[in-house]
Structure 1
Amino acid sequence: MEFTNEQLQMMISEEPVGNLYPYNTKDKQQIEAYIQDLFYTINHLKSIKCEAIFDHYGSGYASYVDFFCYRKDGSSIVNKKYIEKDSLTSIQIEGLVLYISRLAPVAIIWRDKRHKAILDNGEDEFFSGMGMINHPHGIIDEPPSPMVNDFIEIKEKLARAGYHILDKEYLSQPLPFKTKIQTFTRPNQYKLFDAFFFWKD
């Protein structure tokens, strides 16, 4: 799937594109609800637990929703330790990150390690140390060995919902026109990636 310069410009202006409902309505509330439904679908897969960030990382505007998915059986945990002074258990988890675009029916998948803190009362949990990808180099096209079946299931759910997974090669192409995007990338280095996935504080 490739996009025209006009569509790329529209996305940079935060205007949704695409023929898939609800993106074709350009109604941002409907699109947000559609992405929430997708999250619930993926989060109900038998072996996967997912966390989602719908609040634009707490400020500004994110052109995508961040899903972090890892295995329920504990095999995604790479480190676990108790921090007595904070009365919490810190867990480092490796999983798959999905960026689901708010501006087009597209997504990317990459890997990240994130920290989860569990307080002694067992009720309060929160994630920290989240990575944010601002270039296409980290995108993966092949499943990591611990999550092969999960990767396949996630791709199937994305396809069923009408999402196209963009690949690293396409997103690494230089943006074919001059513009200004609110990203961490300098203007002379803009890639197609920057038109789809950007966050401004």
Structure 2
Amino acid sequence: MNDQPASTAGAWAGGAASVEGFLRWVVADLDRMPALRVHHAEFGNYGSGYASYVDVFVTGRDGSARRSENGWTEVEGLPLALCRLAPVATLLKPGTQSSGPNGAGGRGLPQLSLVTDDAPPGWAEEYRQIRQVLDRHDLDLLDAQLLGLPLEGGLHVETVLGDPPYTVFDAWFHWAD
């Protein structure tokens, strides 16, 4: 597969720079949600390679999902992947990100097994707010059933996130180092 936009609508008609600007606008809008704020958004392909998505991590605006101890901070939140190839996104099960001294830290990469189709327990209002922002920007939130469908035989995805046989998830949300 190539990493060319699959859509010619909206920002995708203007190429990669247009899509990047649009996704930055979406992330800024996500950061204005009443109950949530953007803790981190990775636009830099994790420093190497190519990511077909922007990795966004949202957490509670009130700080209650943040814990600090011994120079380390752990934040609980909802990972969201915004596709660079088409106006689609997927929401993942709640997770944590950690950061420590000298830039040390950890976070997970998106995987099909983590895709959530509904509001995770305890996140109903936050899920509703995320949906509203995505709807406002005409981004479709894809579910695990659709993303789990197999790709047609012979299609190959350059990714370190999954193995053949590839799925729709692999096509939209992949990363190669």
State if a TM-score over 0.5 links the two structures.
yes
Map of 1:79-98 to 2, 5 A cutoff?
79-82=67-70, 88=71, 90-98=72-80
- Once the 2 structures are TM-superposed, how far is the Cα of residue 80 of structure 1 from its aligned partner? 3.1
Per-residue CA deviation, residues 4-42 of structure 1 (Å, 9 max, x unaligned), is: xxxxxxxx30110225301133x1000000000001111
- Once the 2 structures are TM-superposed, how far is the Cα of residue 93 of structure 1 from its aligned partner? 1.5
Identical amino acids, percent of aligned pairs: 28
Of residues 42, 47, 51 in structure 2, which corresponds to 1:62?
A: 51
- Say if 1:20 and 1:162, in contact at 8 Å, map to a contact too: no
Counterpart-to-counterpart distance in 2, 1:99 and 1:18: 17
* 2:99 equivalent in structure 1: 116
Query: What is the TM-score with the length of structure 2 in the denominator?
Result: 0.90
Query: Secondary structure at the residue paired with 2:55?
Result: strand
Query: What is the TM-score with the length of structure 1 in the denominator?
Result: 0.80
- Using a 3 Å threshold, how does the CA distance of structure 1 residues 127 and 140 change in structure 2: closer, same or farther? farther
1:132 and 2:115 are equivalent in the alignment: no
Per-residue CA deviation, residues 175-198 of structure 1 (Å, 9 max, x unaligned), is: 1121322113233x2111111010
Q: For the pair shown, which has the larger CA radius of gyration, 1 or 2?
A: 1
* 2:60 equivalent in structure 1: 71
* 1:148 equivalent in structure 2: 124
Structure 2 counterpart of 1:133, one-letter code: P
* 1:199 equivalent in structure 2: 175
- Once the 2 structures are TM-superposed, how far is the Cα of residue 104 of structure 1 from its aligned partner? 0.2
Structure 1 counterpart of 2:85, one-letter code: L
- Once the 2 structures are TM-superposed, how far is the Cα of residue 102 of structure 1 from its aligned partner? 0.3
Of residues 179, 186, 196 in structure 1, which corresponds to 2:155?
A: 179
Counterpart-to-counterpart distance in 2, 1:43 and 1:24: 25
Of residues 8, 33, 40 in structure 2, which corresponds to 1:45?
A: 33
- Say if 1:17 and 1:24, in contact at 8 Å, map to a contact too: no
Give the total of aligned pairs. Answer: 174
1:20 and 2:12 are equivalent in the alignment: no
* 1:29 equivalent in structure 2: 17
* 1:168 equivalent in structure 2: 144
- Once the 2 structures are TM-superposed, how far is the Cα of residue 146 of structure 1 from its aligned partner? 2.9
Q: Which runs of 4+ in 1 moved over 2 A?
A: 144-147, 184-187
Per-residue CA deviation, residues 146-198 of structure 1 (Å, 9 max, x unaligned), is: 322111011111011010011100111111121322113233x2111111010
Unaligned residue ranges in structure 1 (runs of 5+): 1-11, 83-87
Counterpart-to-counterpart distance in 1, 2:99 and 2:118: 26
